[in-house]
Structure 1
Amino acid sequence: MISQLTTGQRADWRRFRKFADTALAPRADMCDAEQELPRAIVKDLADEGWISSLLPEDWGGSARDTVTYGLLSEEMGRACSTVRNFVAVEDMVSHSIWKWGTPAQRARWLPAVAAGEAVLAFALTEPGVGSDAKSVTTEARPDGPDLVLNGVKEWISFGQLADAFLVFAQYEGHHTAFLVDRDSPGIYVEPLRNLLGLRGSMLARITFDDCRIPSDAMVGRPGSGLAFVASSALDIGRYSTAWGCVGLAQACLDASTGYAEKRTQYDSVIMEHQLVQRMLADMITGVRAARLLCWEAGVAKETRASDAVHQTLVAKYFSSTMANRVASDAVQIHGARGIGGESPVARPFRDAKVMEIIEGTTQIHQTLLGRWSSRVHHPADDSVQL
């Protein structure tokens, strides 16, 4: 894969890694312990051009290609999964506004988000609706010149911090998206704390109680909420998560290798123990295989391959399950230190499990890919890209 990167992509990767090491990794444990993402980190990310980087430069973005965006996501995932999650959410919503929003919505929010001056949240999940997104019960109804929104959204990443929400609701029987300002009357934000992982993601439960919004808050057309707005946003989220899992697993591998080279048991460093070697071998293989799948998905997206969405599903499925195995083995290699309060792999271990839940559970991916398998042929068939 590395041999296929351009000179510019390699230079960007080195720059991403340096910033992640110096500005993100030292603050990752703080985000986890204090369960928040400081605005100062948001500003640092904006100053580096890491927010909304997929957008054109005219809208504050960096017009970053998808492979380079993947390398960025890997380095964020290696240093701090909370930060990677934040950037992914902003990219999901800003891309939706850029592609489906009105000129006024673009002008108001896109430059502000890219500059780190505004935060957006993706409000799809509900207390009783997770993977079955088409069944959302939040409803928007016309009321004079305005719309009235009623319903509850839950597990909304950065909902505590957001200045606006991309809300998915039923509108006259159609799944539709709306961009809702946090200052709208009838919005109530309840923090959700003490999560298993991604504890700095500032999740919230958002209640809309006769929340009055202007009719021009709609993003796209009635009925486009799930099929177009949400689906394209979730594809970005899955792609970012897949690469982020590679970074998380790489961090676990690095920590485990360093520890195994120093820790002595039975008169030798544990690196010489065959069972430890087996775990490290599986880690190396898993990380490299996942990185290749992510790169392949990035190329498919960049070239607009017909199976690009499924390539991303493959990458996210494999990478998230791999990250869980690697993080678990990393804790095992560290032994008692792995479960201690100062463990270097405890946070990645907790974060890794969340990766199998967000942007579609492992089981949803298995179902989707299982159905797709009937349309996958041998790679020698030029009509199908693998």
Structure 2
Amino acid sequence: MKLRLTAEQDAVVGRARAFASSRLRARVAEFDQAGVPREIVQALGREGLLGALVPADLGGSPLDAITWGLVTEEIGKVCCNTRYLLTVHASIVAGTLARWGSRAQKAKWLPALATGDVVGAFALSEPETGSDAANVRTRYEASEGGFRIEGRKRWTTFGAMADVFLVFARRGDEVTAFLVERDRPNVHVKPIRDVLAGRGSHLAELHFEGVEVPKENVVGSLGAGFRYVCSTALDIGRYSVAWAAVGVAQGALEAMSTYAGKREQFGQRLHEFQLVKAMIADAVTDVHAARALCMHAGMLRDKRDPEAMIESSIAKQFAARVATRVTADALQVHGAYGLLHGGVVEMLFREARALSIIEGSTQIQQIVIGDHGAQAYGEGTHET
């Protein structure tokens, strides 16, 4: 499906496509094993691709939601591990700080996040708390100099590389967000390895053992961590991951179609067999539908329409399922070659599975969408 873009939008998306082709494609397997290097982070910053949600007067290169989504797709269809950086660092951390940070916080952190000189990570999930984000167990208490934080976070994407963390902690019934610098005393970072997906995204477990932070490190206000700061972050994350799923599915569709056009069996190219042709047809339809849902959500986001949040959930749920289906079919078409470790299809297949879990599992999205549907479409129903 072709979207009519302005010349400016097309230039930005083209820049992302060229970056993915020239700087990422040949190194995807390397990044999957060793992690995305800081040089790539800074190169993305120089391209203006980390400041999409940062105001221009703070060093950003603001993009509308649809253009940012298409950039995410272009990077994600080539290198999922680099795409994680766009979701967490550029979208969730920078975007949330741009919305809720104090003037001093924005001036200090946003220019460095936009250039990639500083890497940010989102520290919400814990060993016992994932989608139940309102019940984080990491604690904070007032101290002489500000606040003291105690607890653990897990599955922190780019946590092993990050210079600053957006951390959520509880005091009684209130949850507050803090900026915690990596170099503060008693911050301990333990890399997480040997995972199915996101192997190169510098996953980490974080330990905060009585970490002291000043009052000026509170993001938003005391007690506003979940309802405002976290809700904003998760909404941005869902939208980004929806586009990430489109990227994974598009990458798999391209790989499947290319291979089917070259590989011969029984005297025919694979794409001439009706069942293979059906797989490609279903993939094309699914990818187009998923992208359309993402575009619709992006359009609403640009209009600041309150329906944008639920539309992002719908897009994320559907696109994640599409990514799972299309990558599975792409692997099937590739046969034994699809099983090769480090191959394009094998990596996309692994990454697709994670998209149904991260930023709110498919089941959580079903609950949210189901509640919305019951209210939005229930009027006028009656028992028979």
CA distance in 1, matches of 2:373, 2:230: 24
Preserved CA contact (<8 Å) 1:157 1:203: yes
| Match in the other structure for 2:203 | 203
Q: Percent identity?
A: 43
Residue 384 of structure 1: aligned partner: none
Which residue identity does 2:206 align to in structure 1? I
Whether the 8 Å contact between 1:250 and 1:287 is mirrored in structure 2 is: yes
**Following the alignment from structure 2 to structure 1, what is the Cα–Cα distance between the partners of residues 319 and 184?**
39
SS of equivalent residue, structure 2 residue 229: helix
Task: Give the C-alpha shift of residue 82 in structure 1.
Answer: 1.1
CA distance in 1, matches of 2:130, 2:251: 30
Letter in 2 for 1:52: G
With normalisation by structure 1, the TM-score equals 0.95
1:7 aligned partner, one-letter code: A
- In the TM superposition, 1:315-354 aligns within 5 A as 315-341=315-341, 343-354=343-354
Q: Within 1, Cα distance between the matches of 2:201 and 2:21? A: 20
Shift of 1:16: 2.1
Distance, in Å, in 2 between the alignment partners of 1:3 and 1:101 is 34
Q: 1:153 to 1:107 in 2, by over 3 A?
A: same
What does the per-residue CA deviation read over 1:204-241, in whole Å, with 9 as the maximum and x for residues that have no partner? 11011111111221111112111111111111111111
Partner of 2:381: none
Aligned residue type for 1:83: T
Question: 1:141, 1:172 within 8 Å by CA — same for their partners in 2?
Answer: no
Greater displacement, 162-171 / 103-112: 103-112
CA RMSD of aligned residues (A): 1.4
Question: In 2, are the aligned partners of 1:320 and 1:352 still within 8 Å (CA)?
Answer: yes
8 Å Cα contact 2:179-2:219 kept in structure 1: yes
Q: Look up the SS of the partner of 1:199 in the other structure.
A: coil
Aligned counterpart, 1:79: 78
After TM superposition, what 4+ stretches of structure 1 lie above 6 angstroms from structure 2? Answer: none
What is the correspondence of 1:152-301 to structure 2 with a 5 Å cutoff?
152-301=152-301
Quote how far apart the aligned CAs of 1:13 are.
2.3
Tell me, which stretches of 5 or more residues in structure 1 are unaligned? 379-386
TM-score by length of 2: 0.95
Match of 2:200, SS state, is: helix
Structure 2 SS opposite 1:376: helix
- Give the stretch that moved more between structures: 2-11 or 354-363: 2-11
Which secondary structure state, in structure 1, belongs to the residue aligned with residue 256 of structure 2? helix
Structure 2 residues without counterparts, runs of 5 or longer: 379-384
1:132-151 superposed Cα distances (whole Å, 9 cap, x missing partner): 00110111101222211101
SS in 1 for 2:344: coil
- Checking the alignment, whether the CA contact within 8 Å between 2:29 and 2:342 is kept in structure 1 is no
* Bigger shift: residues 173-182 or 14-23: 14-23
Question: What is the Cα deviation at residue 342 of structure 1?
Answer: 5.4
Task: Please give the alpha-carbon distance, in whole angstroms, between the structure 2 residues aligned to 1:178 and 1:341.
Answer: 40
Instruction: Give the Cα separation in 1 of the matches to 2:75 and 2:279.
Output: 24
**Partner amino acid, structure 1, of 2:338:** G
Whether the aligned pair in 1 keeps the contact of 2:126 and 2:154 (CA below 8 Å) is yes
Measure, in 1, the Cα distance between the counterparts of 2:342 and 2:298. 36
CA contact (8 A) 2:159 2:189 kept: yes
1:43 aligns with 2:42: yes
1:2 to partner: Cα distance: 3.3
1:311 aligns with 2:321: no
Q: In structure 2, what is the equivalent of residue 110 of structure 1?
A: 110
Distance 2:172 2:97 in 1: 22
Q: 1:148 to 1:173 in 2, by over 3 A?
A: same
Structure-2 separation of matches of 1:344 and 1:120: 28
Counterpart-to-counterpart distance in 2, 1:19 and 1:210 = 42
Partner of 1:208, secondary structure, is strand
User: Could you say which residue in structure 1 is the equivalent of 2:95?
Assistant: 95
Match for residue 23 of structure 1? 23
Task: Give, in whole Å, the separation in 1 of the partners of 2:172 and 2:11.
Answer: 50
Shift of 1:25: 1.8
Contact kept in structure 1, 2:248 and 2:323, CA below 8 Å: yes
**Aligned counterparts of 2:77 and 2:297: Cα–Cα separation in 1:** 19
Q: Distance in 1 between matches of 2:217 and 2:164?
A: 11
1:383 corresponds in structure 2 to none
Q: Distance in 2 between matches of 1:145 and 1:218?
A: 13
Give 3-state SS (helix, strand or coil) of 1:206's partner. Answer: strand
- Return the offset for 1:3: 4.6
Contact 1:171 1:222 in 2 (8 A): no
CA distance in 2 between partners of 1:170 and 1:128 (Å): 14
Look up the match of 1:2.
2
